[in-house]
Amino acid sequence: MPLTLRSSVPAFLLLGLLAPALAAEAVLPPLPAPQRVPAAGPKTDAPYAPVAVLPGGVVLPLYPSGSPYLRADKVTEPEVYQLWGAGLVGAVTSIHNPSIEFHAGNGQLNTGAAVILAGGGGHRSLNVGEATPLVQFLAHQGVSTIILRNRLRSDGYEPKTDGVNDALQAIKLVRAYAQEWKLDPAKIGIMGFSAGAELAMNAGLLWEDFDRANDVPANPLAKISSRPDFIASIYPGPSLFFRNDTPPAIPRAMPPTFLACAGQGDWIHALWAVNFYEAMLMDGVPNIEMMLYARGRHPGDKTGPGEPPATGSISNMGGIPFGTWSARYLDWFRDLGFLNKPGVVTQAAQDVAASLTRQPRTLRPPAPPPAPRRSRRRPPDGILPL
């Protein structure tokens, strides 16, 4: 029966008032399941084959089958993927066959630069959801990205060795495929978040040791450097300088580093950032830039009323300045020449070459105050000299 409206109220307003009641009587079909949701690959007798977390990803295991870096009793175990919404993998655990996932930047703007992305998660899970937003963001700048899947403490590995080795092996592998992926081998670096930032900073300190240990005839990557050409450390975990009675020697070719973190609201990660920055500053390492923001929280932390949300990566973080760190990173990246055309020597490389013979700075102790001068005049009668 047709609906008849007899009212002085305009028809479109009355229909708006009736809409909830009419909708309540309608029976909607069930929602379809999300499409193209990545699912873990099957368990086989061969090493587990990691599945791309984003469409179009080219996935390569870090180590060949039988590598001494892998555990033969674990390497066949499937990874576990956790969704963070929108059908995207947000976190990965049970990583026993670590890998990289390559995504090309905009070919028309190709700079030859490549950023390896290392997610956080406190070494309990690998939060690739912090890395995936950077894939499109950097692609628009002509920068390719590589999502790193490194091994975790929760799965029985040590981040300071196994995790850092995975990061360094990833740099070697990306550099080995630079020609196939149209990359400039002098523009390959790493960006980490929280626990991943810890790996990135320590990779910059340990690449010489890793290269020496892996310079063996059986290694096809033996002569390929694992040195990152740049490092970005976003709300970082502790570096090897924190509470270390024997801090590591800083390589003369230490890469330029960009650090960003909230301040008081994330004070421990800010302290770790300052700790690393101070070590680089005192050693005279060029092009170390740090952004500490007044407001903000570490991703995953609870926030109180009126506080900005504790979201990570390149979210706007409630509109506070901390949400613009990625723009400041691009300023730094551009200034050092990484957004120039491939094959052009970067400002960063020139500055590193000029600083290879630098000497660490030392703080001179303050000079002692001059000793008081004794008067040679004879004191008046009756007054004893002090």
Structure pTM?
0.87
**Cβ-contact 291, 298 below 8 angstroms:** no
Which DSSP string do the residues of 74-100 spell out, in sequence order? TTTSPPEEEE-STT-EEEEE--SS-EE
pLDDT tens per residue across span 161-201: 999 999 999 999 999 999 999 999 999 999 999 999 999 99
Domains of the chain, each with CATH number or no CATH:
58-354 (3.40.50.1820)
pLDDT in the model for residue 50: 95
Q: Measured between alpha carbons, how far is 264 from 267 in angstroms, rounded to an integer? A: 5
DSSP H helices, the chain, are: 11-25, 133-139, 164-176, 195-213, 267-283, 325-335, 347-354
pLDDT in the model for residue 11: 52
Q: Measured between alpha carbons, how far is 348 from 286 in angstroms, rounded to an integer? A: 8
pLDDT in the model for residue 135: 97
Q: Measured between alpha carbons, how far is 217 from 224 in angstroms, rounded to an integer? A: 13
CA angle, corner 56, sides to 51 and 60, nearest 5?
A: 50
b/e per residue, 261-285, with b = 16+ CB within 10 A? bbbebbeebbebbbbbbebbeebeb
Q: What is the CA radius of gyration of the chain?
A: 28
Beta strands 231-234 and 188-193, pairing class: parallel
DSSP letter, residue 372: P
pLDDT in the model for residue 379: 56
pLDDT in the model for residue 307: 75
Tell me the mean pLDDT per 10 residues along the chain, length 386: 51 50 71 82 94 95 95 96 84 97 96 98 96 96 98 97 98 98 98 98 98 95 98 97 91 98 96 97 98 92 76 86 96 98 97 96 80 65 54
**Cβ-contact 204, 191 below 8 angstroms:** no
pLDDT in the model for residue 268: 97
pLDDT in the model for residue 15: 45
Beta bridge partner(s), residue 192: 118, 233
